[in-house]
Amino acid sequence: MSKMNNLKNGITETDVCVIGAGPAGLFSVFECGMLKMSCHVIDSLDAIGGQLSALYPEKPIYDIPGFPKVLAADLVFGLEAQAAPFKPVYHLNQQVVNLSRNQDNRWIVKTSKGTLLNAGAVIIAAGVGAFGPNRPPLEGIEAFEGQGPGVGVHYLVKRREDFRGKRVVIAGGGDSAVDWALSLAKITKSVSIVHRRPKFRAAPDSVSKLHALVDDGIVDLVIPFQLAGIEGVDGRLTMVNVIDLDSNKRSLKADVLLPFFGLTQNIGPIADWGLNLDHNFITVEQKTMSTDKQGIFGIGDIITYPGKLKLIVNGFAEAATAAHSVRAYLNPDEELHFEYSTTKGIPPA
């Protein structure tokens, strides 16, 4: 029987807790839903999609079956829509800090925000581990975070359209900084890109396009400068201050600051859960996606097994295998009458 959002002793009960909202994790929600199992999903980012959303949302992917080309953000949107009929509950911007088994042989999952889940099984789909932005060391920056679309400080772009008509300052010199400068320059009021040196660590073609926009006066290239401070009122950003090595200062009018200094990646507390690890990857039995802990399964880039390929399509297959293994684990006495989705259909969203 499915446990959907049952609240008991302050703990929410669910059939499955999915750790990680990347593509494999999202597809596992669909597969579990098709088997009548409820899911709660936890992710350390403030948006679903994992690396697809954090690193390259507007870049095309060419190896998804049935899609000769699909933007990463569009793939995430489709996976979210596909899972929606099964009403998953997302717990974002929080990390699992404790995983323990209770007297009923179920798993108690606690997050950094105090969320408590009682899950029959756990599917770890944590990619390469927990993501978190490398925040610039600016005094008071927290007050400008989480202020809503198109204002304040953001570490990833969820929706390009949110920045239409805005004054945007981008800090960084890698692919993310350059790619978003190129993309946002088409719709924003102004784009300034701040970098501490003239050379960028981005694809040469993208850098050439950036310099062309600079030459045309569309993008303001602020080099060699680095962030020095931010100003605003009630969380509304108005100014980004920068400084160079000779202590020369500039003030840039801004509605939005996008610091692209990379993301921290580590497996975090997963290392303390007593799972069998091989060089920070969770070892699983490929036939079932099960770990060495009863009731815990793994899929996606966080796992390893002989012949493992780190492809999104493999993560999808692993998600289907894990969901069926979870159902068998939770309902050992019930025989599954397998039906294809074309026969079974799905509930309305």
Q: Let me know whether 140 and 159 are in one domain.
A: yes
Q: Let me know whether 74 and 146 are in one domain.
A: no
pLDDT at 265: 64
- Quote the mean pLDDT of the chain: 91
Q: pLDDT of 256-271, one tens digit each?
A: 999 998 777 667 788 8
Three-class SS state of 222: strand
Average pLDDT on 312-335 reads: 96
Characterize the bridge pairing of strands 89-91 and 263-266.
unpaired
Distances (CA, A) of 54 to 22, 39, 87, 103, 343: 10, 23, 24, 38, 36
| Of 193, 226, 261, the domain-final residue | 261
Is the peptide bond preceding residue 347 cis, with omega within 30 degrees of 0?
Answer: no
More confident residue, 155 or 28: 28
Structure tokens at 112: 């950094």
CA-CA distance, 180 to 170, in Å (whole number)? Answer: 8
Q: Let me know whether 205 and 311 are in one domain.
A: no
Record the pTM. Answer: 0.73
**Above 70 in pLDDT, residue 329?**
yes
Average pLDDT on 281-307 reads: 96
Residues 6+ apart with CB under 8 A from 84: 349
Q: Let me know whether 124 and 270 are in one domain.
A: yes
Task: Supply the range of the domain harboring residue 76.
Answer: 4-131+264-344
Check: CB of residue 189 under 8 Å from CB of residue 165.
Answer: yes
**Above 90 in pLDDT, residue 315?**
yes
pLDDT grade, residue 106 (50/70/90)? very high
| Of 227, 261, 295, the domain-final residue | 261
Structure tokens at 150: 């198109």
pLDDT at 173: 94
pLDDT at 170: 98
Q: Let me know whether 149 and 126 are in one domain.
A: no
Q: pLDDT of 204-250, one tens digit each?
A: 999 999 999 999 999 999 999 999 999 999 889 999 999 999 999 99
Q: pLDDT of 179-193, one tens digit each?
A: 999 999 999 999 999
Strand order in the sheet with 236-243: 226-233, 236-243, 249-253
pLDDT at 203: 86
Percent of the chain at pLDDT above 70? 95
Q: pLDDT of 38-49, one tens digit each?
A: 999 999 888 899
| Of 241, 261, 281, the domain-final residue | 261
Q: Let me know whether 156 and 82 are in one domain.
A: no
The answer to whether position 349 is within a domain reads no
CATH number assigned to the domain comprising residue 318? 3.50.50.60
Q: Let me know whether 123 and 139 are in one domain.
A: no
**Above 80 in pLDDT, residue 158?**
no
CA-CA distance, 319 to 261, in Å (whole number)? Answer: 32
pLDDT grade, residue 75 (50/70/90)? very high
The answer to whether position 237 is within a domain reads yes
pLDDT grade, residue 135 (50/70/90)? confident
Average pLDDT on 132-155 reads: 88
Three-class SS state of 54: helix
Q: Let me know whether 150 and 121 are in one domain.
A: no
Check: CB of residue 215 under 8 Å from CB of residue 221.
Answer: no
pLDDT at 176: 86
pLDDT at 1: 46
Average pLDDT on 125-145 reads: 83
Three-class SS state of 214: helix
Percent of the chain at pLDDT above 90? 74
CA-CA distance, 79 to 48, in Å (whole number)? Answer: 10
Q: Let me know whether 330 and 306 are in one domain.
A: yes
Total number of domains constituting the chain? 2
pLDDT at 82: 97
Q: Is 139 exposed, middle or buried (0-12, 13-18, 19+ CB in 10 A)?
A: exposed
Sign of CA pseudo-dihedral 46, 316, 4, 74: positive
